């Protein structure tokens, strides 16, 4: 009986020893986790050494409010001048309201969908169809459109490749630039 107890105790000790080793995670963190830890540590150190300052006045908010105040008027005219890479004005459009880029959407372009997999429930962000029932890549951000000020015609133009838009809420003085759409500045009521 004494031998049985001794053998049982030895087996139990061996099981505890090997069980403890088996439960110990000897894996090294993967490369992504190691880099995440490094970046987070750097960020935390920099924030501690150089915390963000606070402001009692925000010029950015004031300018955003100026934009809202400028365009918060139905039918307000927008003067869009296209400028080439040399600084020369190519022409202009007069629109009802400021132009909008094709990346702008009236509905959220993505939605969060719940899914279940072998690990349980998770949330996934997926593209959502646009108002017109199509799917957009959101890659036409350099294409703008608007409504002509006098005819209501649809106007679309692209920027980039040396073409830069200049937007004003009043016509530029002393320019000898031709209209690129139906509305001419000189035909507008003063």
**What is the chain's mean pLDDT, rounded?**
85
95 and 173, same structural domain?
A: yes
Q: How many folded domains does the chain comprise?
A: 2
Assess contact for 110 and 126: CB atoms under 8 A.
yes
Assess contact for 150 and 68: CB atoms under 8 A.
no
| 97-137 pLDDT per residue, tens | 999 998 888 888 888 888 777 777 888 888 888 877 887 76
54's enclosing H/E stretch is: none
In a domain, 178, yes or no: yes
The domain in which residue 162 lies consists of 76-103+138-190
Q: What is the mean pLDDT of residues 91-99?
A: 97
pLDDT in the model for residue 14 = 52
Q: Classify residue 130 by burial, with Cβ atoms within 10 Å: 0-12, 13-18, 19+.
A: middle
Whether pLDDT at 37 is above 50: yes
In a domain, 7, yes or no: no
pTM of the model: 0.69
Q: Which of 14-28, 132-146, 172-186 has the highest mean pLDDT?
A: 172-186
Tokens for 119, please give them.
């690990």
Task: Provide the 8-state DSSP code for 185.
Answer: G
Task: Provide the 8-state DSSP code for 114.
Answer: E
């Amino acid at each position: 009986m004494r031998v049985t107890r001794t053998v049982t105790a030895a087996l139990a000790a061996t099981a505890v020893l090997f069980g403890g080793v088996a439960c110990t995670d000897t894996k090294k963190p993967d490369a992504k986790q190691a880099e995440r830890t490094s970046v987070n540590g750097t960020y935390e150190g920099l924030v501690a050494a150089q915390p963000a300052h606070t402001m009692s006045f925000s010029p950015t908010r004031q300018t955003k409010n100026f934009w809202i105040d400028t365009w918060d008027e139905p039918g307000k005219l927008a003067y869009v001048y296209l400028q080439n890479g040399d600084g020369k004005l190519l022409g202009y459009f007069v629109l009802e309201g400021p132009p909008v880029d094709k990346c702008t959407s009236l509905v959220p372009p993505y939605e969060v969908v719940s899914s279940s997999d072998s690990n349980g429930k998770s949330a996934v962000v997926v593209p959502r169809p646009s108002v017109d029932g199509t799917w957009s890549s959101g890659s036409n951000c350099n294409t703008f459109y608007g409504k002509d000020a006098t005819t209501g015609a649809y106007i679309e133009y692209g920027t980039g490749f040396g073409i830069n838009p200049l937007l004003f809420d009043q016509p530029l003085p002393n320019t000898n630039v031709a209209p690129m759409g139906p509305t001419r500045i000189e035909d507008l009521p003063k």
